[in-house]
Chain A
Amino acid sequence: MKNKIILSLLLLFFIFCFVILYKGLNNSNIYVPEVKIEKTLTKFNSIDLYSENKISSDQIFVDSEYYVLNIWASWCVPCREEHPKLMKLSKNKSIKLIGLNYRDNPKNAKRFISEFGDPYFMIIKDRNGTISVDLGAIGVPETFIINKDKKIIKRFLGSLNEKLLNEINLITK
């Protein structure tokens, strides 16, 4: 009898653990590093992917409340998954979505865009990866939210999902 009570209590306990862990799995696990001091964007120069014109960061980050800078590359598999989310995000009118094409072949990058659509307001090239280094990026894809004072207020490592999209929309409201 005593055994049966212990057994049923244990069963209940483990079922409880199972339910909690099962629910925990569905929580987003994308790692969002805390930005303690809002880092100001360092100035940089780049080249527009399509027009091949030289462009400086001061020319890019103008006339908008918020900017979302997305680091991507045509060779990056997670970027493919992320792309539809960016297409959705491009409907948000209060932000300027800027694509930073990281260490990519321009031909492939253009093919990628013509195949999957262009969510970006502008795509700039980061041929040797230095701009990404200055931003403090550690991988592709990676997304930064920048405010009008050119301060990075949030960054997301890895590809964006629905939940993070909502978060971005909330921040940039």
Chain B
Amino acid sequence: MLANQIGHYSLFLGFFFSIIIIPISIKNYNNKNQIIDNKIFSISFFQFFFVLVSFFGLILSFVNSDFSNETVFNNSHTTKPLFYKISGTWGNHEGSLLLWLLVLTLFIFVFLIKSNKQPKKYRILTLLFQQVIIIGFFLFLLKTSNPFNYLFPIPKEGLGLNPILQDPALAIHPPILYLGYVGSSIIFSSSLAAVVEKHISKIWAKHIKVWILVSWVFLTLGIMLGSIWAYYELGWGGFWFWDPVENVSLMPWFCLTALLHCILVLEKRLLLISWTVILSIATFMLSMSGTFLVRSGILNSVHTFANDPERGIFILIFLFTLIFFSLFIFFVFHKHNSQEIAKTFWLSKETSILFNNWFLMYFLSVVLIGTVYPIFLEVLSGEKISVGSPFYHKLIIPFLIPFLIFMSIGPNLNWIKSEIKKIKIQIILSFIIALIISFLILSKIGLVGLINTILITVAFYLFFMTIKDFFSKKFNNYSQNFSHFGFSLLILSILFNSILSSEKIVNLKVGEEFSFREETITFESIENIKNKNYKSIIGNFKIKDKKNNSIQLKPELRVYNQPLTITSEADIKTTLYYDKFLVMNVVKDYEYFNVRYQVKPFMIWVWISTILLVVGGCLSLFRRSYEK
């Protein structure tokens, strides 16, 4: 009760500070003094501090199951384990917005402290732009989705959190993803400020690169965690479904990846300035539209958030205000440098980056169209469609081929200009090796197909090229190597995974068995176990291969009581080579069970390679300067 009130009032206090910082900053911006007033630092700190208090207030209300708070009542229950009570704080609409706000205020405070080598006017302008976003979110939170609404009379029990959200990977997935999303807001504000102040320079690039890397690392990790959750918890037997909400997180990722490469070019050669600014704006706008699409309920998906048109309208107006605002700043203050093109040579590192940026933009537009087209179609013609994976696969996969080739060759080119003659024999040699290896592998599997062969070849090509670069460049650019290596591994494992996966779905009774390829799967028994907030039905399956090695798999069905939901927990046996995945569902009367058995090769490598990508990004953070 107390925690709830403290949380509520400190949210108002935070809002108060977010407003008074504006006139003080404007005053400071206009005076001749070259340093930022200390008052600004302290107000920015208080703004963050009170949002933090408010966030802790909400966590405490969740921990104490204080059902006088509407958010807690709607999303928690006394029988829930403590860990999920806490993660329930941000597992719902109101709490997750409070988290957004927390990260927003934290980041601007950190930005103010860390940017002390930059000009004062630029820093204050960034702060001002960021405050616009912060105030927008404060208003949104207080007006449409206050997490501290009182409920009277106080209910004895809560409605419970959606049980498929009770998963460790999902408990940390939103905060991590938000760090990525919100990090892009700093990039947005600071690049607008840099445009206004004409501060776009190599020094600026170096300073903002840190923020881009941090956001990129968190965004990548966040997407991976979400995908791990989908794989283990949803039991659909895959890790990426082109679900609109997944797409919404992928879009800023494409943008941010392109931006990451642009900023390197900018830092090195002061080129691609317009690209950098536009991508900075676009990344944050895509993060915001992600919030809009998910929170407004305009999309249907596995993600459970309340549908409330009022919220949708607020974010929509806010989003478009920001879009028009940034368009205005870009067109008024940004002076296009038409000499840029003349300064680039067709065969150089920067052109290969530029090429790949175009490809990334292409992938982005495919995903964007696939995600929003159904909305547009429904409004314009009343027709309901859903866009599935064939659309994305057909449009994306072929274009991965040139993308991967540029990615392999690009790092081997010089800045400014490379000579064709100087392109070493190793590059061609690795290509031939890659071709032979993929041909051998494919003929062994017995699978031929032009696209597959070429794709695997180029993925192997990137793989070998990055390994070669590790040694030939004497580790002077290991962060980029790491990430590119991780990416090639990711593509390879996804390819092999999708080509070689196999599954069988049968209806079984206890005691029955079925055979699949060279294995026999026996349904031995079921047991019933009562847990604190759910009861579980566990099936015992024995899988025996032809060499008589056997493993046990125990998929589980959970019947949660609050709210009543049945979820199936797949049991997965993971090895370095493949995952064996078994999930069951009730058919009727708990006598027959629908059993789905899958063998998924190289599954774990999808996660490992994503982690490598992230590690590459982190390494880059710790490096002083970009490659010589």
Q: Which residues in A have some Cβ–Cβ distance to B below 8 Å?
A: 3, 6-7, 10-11, 14, 17-18, 20-27, 29-31, 42, 75-77, 102-103, 129, 132-133, 137-140
Contact = CB atoms under 8 A, between A and B. Distances in A.
A75 B74 CA distance: 11
B448 interface: no
Contacts of A27: 298, 378-379
B307 A29 contact: yes
A29 B331 contact: no
Contacts of A103: 564
Given A20-B380, A75-B157, A25 B565 contact: no
Contact of A11 (B327, B376, B379, B566): B327
B296 A25 contact: yes
B297 interface: yes
Nearest to A18: B320
A138 B312 CA distance: 25
B615 interface: no
A76 B331 contact: no
A102 B563 CA distance: 10
Interface string B286-328: 0000001000111010000001010011001000100110010
Interface string B141-177: 0000000000000010101000000000000000000
Q: In this complex, which of B74, B298, B380 has the most chain A Cβ atoms within 10 angstroms of its Cβ?
A: B298
A22 B313 contact: yes
B459 interface: no
B561 interface: yes
Given A3-B331, A21-B375, A138 B564 contact: yes
B3 interface: no
A31 B307 CA distance: 10
Contact of A18 (B155, B296, B316, B588): B316
Contact of A133 (B297, B312, B379, B566): B566
Nearest to B336: A3
B565 A138 contact: yes
Contacts of B563: 138-140
Nearest to A23: B379
A21 B309 CA distance: 11
A19 B320 CA distance: 11
A76 B159 contact: yes
Contacts of B564: 102-103, 129, 132-133, 137-139
30 contacts: A3-B331, A3-B336, A6-B331, A7-B327, A10-B327, A14-B323, A14-B327, A18-B316, A20-B376, A20-B379, A21-B298, A21-B375, A24-B375, A24-B378, A25-B309, A26-B309, A27-B298, A27-B378, A42-B589, A76-B159, A103-B564, A129-B561, A129-B564, A133-B564, A138-B563, A138-B565, A139-B563, A139-B564, A139-B565, A140-B563
Contacts of B561: 129
A26 to B, nearest CB: 6
Contacts of B157: 75
Given A20-B376, A24-B379, 12 more contacts: A3-B331, A14-B323, A18-B320, A21-B316, A25-B296, A25-B309, A29-B298, A102-B564, A129-B564, A133-B564, A138-B564, A139-B565
B559 interface: yes
Given A20-B380, A77-B74, A133-B564, A29 B300 contact: yes
B93 to A, nearest CB: 14
Interface in B542-568: 559, 561, 563-566
A42 B309 CA distance: 37
A120 to B, nearest CB: 21
Interface in B395-449: none
Contacts of B376: 20, 24
B253 to A, nearest CB: 21
Nearest to B330: A7
A14 B320 CA distance: 8
Contacts of A132: 564
Q: Which 10 residue pairs are nearest across A and B when measured between Cβ atoms?
A: A25-B312, A29-B297, A23-B379, A24-B375, A29-B307, A7-B331, A24-B379, A18-B320, A129-B564, A25-B309
A14 B561 CA distance: 46
Contacts of B323: 14
Nearest to B375: A24
Nearest to A2: B336
Contacts of A102: 564
B324 A25 contact: no
A103 B589 CA distance: 21
Contacts of B375: 20-21, 24
Nearest to A129: B564
A11 B300 CA distance: 28
B524 to A, nearest CB: 25
A26 B316 CA distance: 13
Contacts of A26: 309
Nearest to B155: A75
Contacts of A31: 300
A24 to B, nearest CB: 5
A24 B320 CA distance: 15
Contact of A22 (B155, B316, B588): B316
B72 to A, nearest CB: 13
Contacts of B74: 77
A11 B324 contact: yes
Contacts of B313: 22, 25
Interface string B372-402: 0001101110000000000000000000000
Nearest to A27: B378
A6 B563 CA distance: 52
A36 B155 CA distance: 38
B164 to A, nearest CB: 10
Nearest to A32: B300
A14 B565 contact: no
A5 to B, nearest CB: 11
Contacts of B336: 3
Nearest to B562: A103
Interface string B317-350: 0001001100100010000100000000000000
Nearest to B311: A25
A18 to B, nearest CB: 5
A25 B299 CA distance: 9
Contact of B324 (A14, A20, A29): A14
Nearest to B384: A27
Contacts of A75: 155, 157, 159
Nearest to B157: A75
A26 B310 CA distance: 10
Contacts of A137: 564
Contacts of B589: 42
A48 to B, nearest CB: 22
Nearest to A16: B376
Contacts of B380: 20
Nearest to B588: A42
A25 B312 CA distance: 7
A88 to B, nearest CB: 21
